[in-house]
Every structure is written in structure tokens, then in C-alpha cells.
Amino acid sequence: MAKLRGTGIAAVNYPTGMNLGGDPSQALIHATTTGTFVISLSSTDLGQGLKTVIAQIGAETLGVPFENVLIDTADTDTGPHCMGTFASRATHRVGNAVIMAAKEARKVMLEVAAEELEASPDDLDTDGQGNIYVKGSPERKIDITSVALAAHFKYGRSISGRGMYIKPKSPVDPETGKMDPDSTEAHACVVAEVEVDTETGEVTVLSLKSAYEVGCQVNPALVREQIIGGAFMGMSHALYETTAPYYPSPDHAPGSFSEYVIPGPHELPHIESVVLEYPSVNGPYGVKGVGEMTANAPIPAIINAISNAIGVRLTEYPVTPEKILRALERSPKLKQPAQTGA
Amino acid sequence: MASRIVAFNLNGRDVEVMVKPLTTLQTVLREHLHLTATKSGCRQGGCGTCTVLVNGEPMLSCLLPVEDIAGQQVVTLEGITPVEGLHPIQQAFFDNYAIQCGYCSPGMIMIIKALLDRNPNPTRQEVMDAIAGNVCRCTGYESILRAAEDAARRLQSA
């Protein structure tokens, strides 16, 4: 009986979005009478923070405070078209659509403000604090609410904008197989340290240390939480999750969620990460996708660490205690000193 | 079998409900009383998101026939949420990014409330032990553990 330690490494290049048949997203923005900018989308926030980052992108482009932006993802029956939240595409695709819509809405907003300030729209700018002012004379300004009220009740205008982003379908060259499959790629590397109990076959993940290159971060705190949550989910895939665990008979297979094995807080390893920012050329404000990839590289990193610990190559996951114990029977590391003559 | 009236105290108010035998507290809360903060997850006691407090003890409302809590004190997430603002545990979840999809959050907040009520200054190990029956699929638990520790500090300095 022993506890064997090992280290493993794995890297991932993760494509943002897909391009099998064109990949569009659309966004509509309109201001309410009191100057709240409603961004209508059919994209879904699954909890990763899409509403927050899209509101940040919209506010930045419109030139209004974050608090003035409302994200409406209420209904895919009535909202503008979106392919959905998958393939780490939403911030990239929807963000680009929102920038386009926000530019159009900003143009109308400045035109209405210009009428009120008796200035040229080209001479106006936003201060990001809820005001529009004349460049060079900041005391000549008007607040966003007054602009919205004037647009609605004085000029009969709608402060609104339309945006769409499409990654066109890229055909495969029949000669070379060459194509342009994605919009941008994020990169990561994960190093896992594990301890394997040779008596029980149980694996403890001691740490997951990673470096992520994800383009510009719209919201670094949300990126960090994606990395931590993804690392844990990767560990869960590597060691625990299967609907068909190895048992002598299928009768012993889990029949409900209560019997489906997933790790809990006690299995949380030490997680450490650094984020590098190399802006993408086509993402909104240099964004790349950082969702799914966080659960990818931890899996081979952990399994490589186990292989390193026990001296046997493992090629199937989840690496359950049963698989470890069977592999240990083939392990050169477990031979007794007397048997090996060492 | 015939329905009968069950009376209990919910979030400080006496309530009476007419239920068939073996109707769970979860069903009563969500479908009879329309208090939907208590989530319906696995409905077999495996996920913890339906956790409520009965006489201060955390219980899985999906497994609890409402007749069993007749005359007792039940507190749900609605019961600890102030009319304005948030409970310190809710605020700690918000500030520590401990909510992603949000499905586990009501149960997590109630189980941490139960813990902090009897142990105001828990160790990380004690927090892990307390939330071990509550499943979170998004956060990896790290932010929830941080939030629980932050909530303990807030409640002690309050």
C-alpha cells in the first residue's frame, strides 16, 4: 500500500464559435422614454454572465453608464435571431452585433442631443456618466434622460439601432481540405498534481494550475469564476462522471441523480490561474471565448498525472478506482523490491 | 384518501393548507402557496436545492410530508429576505460571485444560514461538511465557500 504522486500537463486551442453553415447573431437596441437602453437578444445567459458582459459592451459603445442598460433575453419567439449560447460564441458574436446596434443608436442619440444643444452632432461626445456635451466646452451638456424625452415627445424619433454579426460559411477546399473553421482561438495549459492511493484506487487531485490566453477580458472576475468552475467540472469528468460505470452487471448501473457520482466541496483541489490577454482581431473589444475550454484541458492533465503516478498509460475516462486498481496490476511501480531484485 | 387540513407556521405567519396524504412540503410551498424560492431539483433528496429550515434545522422539503411538520416553524428563503436589500448571506453570495445559474443558491443560502445560526465562526472544513449534500454544477464550490466565510464575518460584525 502506498500513496503515489504524479504530475501531468495538457494544453488546448479552443475555437470560438463554429462555421459549418454560417453562424449569425442579431441584436436590437432601443431607448425608453427615460433613457434606459434596452438590448433585445435571443441569446441565453446560462449563468456564465452573458447579460453582464453584454451590458458592459453595450454601455461602452453607447457611451452611457452600465446602469442605463437593460438586457432583455426574454423570449426566442419574439427576439432578434441568435444561434444560441454554445461553442463559447456568445460574447464574441452577440458582442459584435451589440456594438453595431449601439453605434446606430448612439448616432441618433447624438443627433437629438445636437438639436437640444444647438450644436453639430460631430462636435458632441458622451462622458460615460450619463451626459452628452460639446467637445471643448463641457459645461454645454444635456443628460441622457432629457435627450430620450426630447426624442420621444418633441422630435418623434426612436433612439434605436440594429446589429448583426455573421461568420460566413467557409467551404472546404476539396483539394487541400483547407477551410476557415472558427473566428478566433483561445489557448490554455493546465498542470495537474494528483495522489493515487494504491490500496483503494482513489485519486485525490491536489492542484490544478493553469495559464489562459483568452483575448481581452470584458469582466476579469467572471473569467476567473469560469476557470475555477471549469477546472472542477473537468476534474469531475476525469474521475467520476459516467452513466455507465464499470460494474459486474448493468443491474448495478445508477438509476437516478442520487446515484450519479459527482464530486463535492471536499474534492475541491487548489486552483490557481493566470490570464494572458492577446486581443483577437475580430472580437468585440478584442474578446475571445472562454467558456467550454475551461473544462477541457483539466481532463487530460489529470489523467496524464495519474499515468505519471502509477507508471501505466490510461486511455479511458472517467478514471474510476476500479480502472486504477486494474491498471496497477500492470504497473512496474508496484512490484515489490524483492521481486524486482532492487 | 381524503384531504385534510395541516396548520404550521411559515416565515412567522400561521398558515393552513388542504392536502392529500404524503403531499410534500416542497409541493405545498411551490404549488399551493406559490413561494417559488425553494427550488425543485432532483425531488429525491439528492441535490439539496429544496432545503428549508424546520425549527431551525435544515431539511429537504422534497422528502418531507407536510403532515409531519404540523404545528412547527418553517423558514424559507423568502422568510430571511428583507423587504428591501438582501440578507447578509445573500449579499455575500452576490459580492463573491457565488451565483452562476442560481439553481443551487436558495438551498445553499439556507444550509449556510442553518450552519451560521449554530456555529457563527465555522472553519472551511465545517462549511464544506455543511454544504456537502448540496450540489452546485457551475462554481466548483470555491466561491460558495468564500461567500459563507464572508457571510460569517458580516453577521459577526453586524
Please determine, for residue A246, whether its predicted confidence score (pLDDT) is greater than 80: no
Same domain, A292 and A319: yes
CA–CA dist A73, A79 (Å, integer) = 7
Tell me the average pLDDT across B73-102: 97
- Give the CB-side neighbour count of residue A336, counting CA atoms within 13 A: 3
**Residue A99 distance to chain B (closest CA, Å):** 25
What tens digit of pLDDT does each residue of A286-302 get? 999 998 999 999 999 99
For chain A, give the percent of residues with pLDDT over 90.
79
Between CA A10 and CA A17, with CA A13 as vertex, the angle to 5 degrees is 140
Same domain, A136 and A259: no
Query: What's the CATH fold of domain B88-157?
Result: DNA polymerase; domain 1 (1.10.150)
Please determine, for residue A335, whether its predicted confidence score (pLDDT) is greater than 70: no
Q: Which residues of A211-243 are buried (b: 16+ CB within 10 A; e: fewer)?
A: ebbbbebbeeebbbbbbbbbbbbbbbbbbbbee
What tens digit of pLDDT does each residue of A145-165 get? 999 999 999 999 999 999 999
Tell me what pLDDT residue A336 has: 52
Four-residue CA torsion sign, A181, A186, A189, A190: negative
- Interface list for chain B against chain A, based on CB atoms closer than 8 Å: 42, 44-47, 97, 99-102, 127-128, 131-132, 135, 137-145
Tell me what pLDDT residue A23 has: 85
**A321 occurs within a structural domain:** yes
CA–CA dist A267, B95 (Å, integer) = 24
Tell me what pLDDT residue A122 has: 97
Please determine, for residue A243, whether its predicted confidence score (pLDDT) is greater than 90: no
**A106 occurs within a structural domain:** yes
Tell me what pLDDT residue A250 has: 75
* Cα distance between the two ends of chain B: 50
Give this complex's ipTM.
0.93
Residue ending a domain, among A103, A137, A167, is A167
Same domain, A10 and A23: no
Say if CB A105 and CB A30 are below 8 A apart: yes
Tell me the average pLDDT across B107-133: 98
Say if CB A240 and CB A262 are below 8 A apart: yes
Between CA B109 and CA B119, with CA B115 as vertex, the angle to 5 degrees is 140
Same domain, A305 and A234: yes
Say if CB A268 and CB A25 are below 8 A apart: no
What type of residue is B67?
Answer: E
> Is beta strand B51-54 parallel, antiparallel or unpaired with respect to B13-19?
unpaired
Tell me what pLDDT residue A74 has: 81
- Among A86-95, A325-334, B86-95, the least confident range: A325-334
**B chain contacts of residue A221, beta-carbon cutoff 8 Å:** 97
Same domain, A136 and A44: yes
CA–CA dist A224, A271 (Å, integer) = 10
Same domain, A69 and A26: yes
SS3 assignment, position A39: strand
For chain B, give the percent of residues with pLDDT over 70.
100
Reported confidence tier of residue A341, pLDDT bands at 50, 70, 90: very low
Which superfamily does B4-79 belong to?
Answer: Beta-grasp domain (3.10.20.30)
Four-residue CA torsion sign, A68, A73, A78, A81: positive
Across the A:B interface, residue pairs with CB atoms under 8 Å apart total: 67
Same domain, A39 and A130: yes
Tell me the average pLDDT across B9-29: 97
- Among A157-171, B82-96, B102-116, the least confident range: A157-171
Please determine, for residue B158, whether its predicted confidence score (pLDDT) is greater than 80: no
Domain boundaries of chain B, sorted by first residue: 4-79, 88-157
CATH code assigned at A126: 3.30.365.10
**Residue B100 distance to chain A (closest CA, Å):** 4
Same domain, A10 and A35: no
Same domain, A237 and A99: no
Same domain, A288 and A308: yes
Tell me what pLDDT residue B115 has: 98
Domain that holds residue A143: 19-167
Tell me what pLDDT residue B22 has: 95
Nearest chain A Cα to B125, which residue? A266
Residue owning grid cell 483539394? A175
Please determine, for residue A259, whether its predicted confidence score (pLDDT) is greater than 90: no
Tell me what pLDDT residue A149 has: 98
Strand ranges inside A131-178, DSSP E: 131-134, 137-143, 160-167
**A chain contacts of residue B140, beta-carbon cutoff 8 Å:** 228-233, 268, 271
Q: Which residues of A252-274 are buried (b: 16+ CB within 10 A; e: fewer)?
A: eeeeeeeebebbebebbbebebe
**A306 occurs within a structural domain:** yes
Same domain, A311 and A206: yes
Tell me what pLDDT residue A340 has: 45
Four-residue CA torsion sign, B56, B57, B62, B65: negative
**A176 occurs within a structural domain:** no
Same domain, A107 and A250: no
Catalytic residue positions of A, numbered: 292
CB–CB of A268 and B131 under 8 A?
no
Look at residues A168, A165, A164, A163 and name the one whose alpha carbon lies nearest to residue A22: A168
What tens digit of pLDDT does each residue of A13-40 get? 999 988 777 889 999 999 999 999 999 9
**B chain contacts of residue A265, beta-carbon cutoff 8 Å:** 127-128, 131-132, 141, 144-145
Please determine, for residue A338, whether its predicted confidence score (pLDDT) is greater than 80: no
Please determine, for residue B83, whether its predicted confidence score (pLDDT) is greater than 70: yes
| Domains in chain A, number | 2
